[in-house]
Amino acid sequence: MTLESTLTFLAVLVLVKGFIGVLDGVRYLDYIRKHLAARPEPWMPRVSVIVPCKGLDFELEQNLEAIFRQVYPFFEVLVVTATAGDPAVAPVKRLAERLPGHKIRFITAGVSQERGEKVHNLIQAVACADPASEVFVFTDSDSRPHLCWLQELVAPLKDKKVGVSTGYRWYYPERANLASVIRSVWNGSIATLLGNHSHNFAWGGSMAIRKSIFERSRVIDYWRHSISDDYSITQAMKDAKLRIHFEPRCLIASYGRCGWRELLEWSTRQMIITKVYARKLWRLVLVSQWTFTLVWWWALAGFCVALLPASRGSPASVVWTGGPKKYGLLAGLLFLFGAVRGWYRTQTIRRIRPEHQEAIQKFWWGHALLFPLASTLTAYCLARSAFASSVEWRGVRYEFCSPQKLRVIRNE
């Protein structure tokens, strides 16, 4: 079997997968329409909302104010930092003083040498939560939920078969630099993997769990030596045979900008953490993304090479033996399927968050046109993650010995 025939066979497989992806996009939009049309039965017990903070996230005060102003009758907010002198503490305290009617508490968690700083913050905050709270809700300081987010996230927990109710995020680029748009595209492809099925995962920036289930499923034990709050709680729910419910209404906004260096560090860290805590998923993504990236750039390059007058008999003819029609058709169909899927994705998000239609519409082109770059970024991060055993996260470096053993090798 020649290299050309092997790549052609892979291209056909990728095309079939791309066509199925378009059908999935249509089905997903229909699922969202039906889900949003059915209002959930309200259930509003007492809630403790836990917000781990470190440093000054983009528009931190606006993000925290959105959490403090939730339309919900009985809830407290626990703002937790590793140190009392964290830069986030002062502005959030000033914000809390402007909202005297809200129950807001500040917790200093300290530093752990055996788990991730965020996870350690969560463990300490849970221990300080109001004993009357029936539900723990976790969110991030760089996320900005809408006013009814808390109601919508907690309501599915009325069903006792649900272990965790989760949402996800959608990045809104603050300025149209290419790195920020690609981050939104990269993240958006993950957002629409969640749905009405048994393969959901919890996302730490928007998740809720009953206190009784939290204790019964021993979430603290899963967190004890972990850097990932969401992968670990996902495993806890699987082991407890409890369902993770994805609530589309709880897709929350994350604003800001990033440069190329930040984008590469962030996306590579996600892949390394996935490799450590969800190796089967990592392998699946590795095969999928590398196959697409290889086929896409081979077809695109082949189209360009075939147009060159001196291409026949050149070294390039060993890799590309077809003509421009073949490679042009392959590249064109791959791009068409990906663009249609990206367009459907933005239409789905517009339906979930109609109040953000203008912001979503502003960067629709990124999701429809830049997916080859986002896939190439994923392939690059997967290659790097294959040989990496440590990550740096907000000034702290962690080394993974195993999924159950973590070592803090540098703490600033």
pLDDT 10s digits, 367-379: 999 999 999 999 9
268 inside domain = no
Sign of CA dihedral 272, 276, 277, 279: positive
pLDDT 10s digits, 170-206: 999 877 689 999 999 999 988 888 999 989 999 999 9
Please give the model's pTM, rounded to 2 decimal places.
0.92
Q: What is the mean pLDDT of the chain?
A: 91
271 inside domain = no
Model pLDDT, residue 1: 64
**153: closest CA among 72, 74, 99, 34?**
72
Assess whether 255 and 403 both reside in one domain: no
Backbone angles phi, psi at 171, to 5 degrees: -80, 130
Is 130 within 8 Å of 46 (Cβ atoms)?
yes
Total number of residues shown for the chain: 412
Domain-ending residue, one of 201, 232, 262: 262
Cβ neighbours of residue 14 under 8 Å, at least 6 residues apart?
291, 292, 295, 296, 334
Assess whether 23 and 47 both reside in one domain: no
Angstrom distance (rounded) from CA 172 to CA 376: 21
Of the listed ranges 82-96, 235-249, 284-298, 302-316, the least confidently predicted one is: 302-316
Model pLDDT, residue 257: 85
Assess whether 124 and 15 both reside in one domain: no
Count of Cβ atoms closer than 10 Å to residue 81 Cβ: 24
- pLDDT above 70 covers a percentage of the chain that reads 96
pLDDT 10s digits, 247-305: 999 999 999 888 999 999 999 999 999 999 999 999 999 999 999 999 999 999 988 88
Angstrom distance (rounded) from CA 33 to CA 183: 26
Cβ neighbours of residue 137 under 8 Å, at least 6 residues apart?
47, 48, 49, 50, 75, 150, 153, 154, 207, 208
Domain-ending residue, one of 262, 293, 323: 262
The domain of 77 spans: 41-262
Residues 25-36, buried b or exposed e (16+ Cβ, 10 A)?
A: beebbebbeebe
Model pLDDT, residue 83: 94
pLDDT 10s digits, 137-177: 999 999 999 999 999 999 999 998 999 999 999 999 877 68
Query: What average pLDDT does the segment 65-90 reach?
Result: 95
Angstrom distance (rounded) from CA 118 to CA 228: 8
CATH code at position 193: 3.90.550.10
Assess whether 103 and 160 both reside in one domain: yes
Model pLDDT, residue 137: 98
Is 162 within 8 Å of 243 (Cβ atoms)?
yes
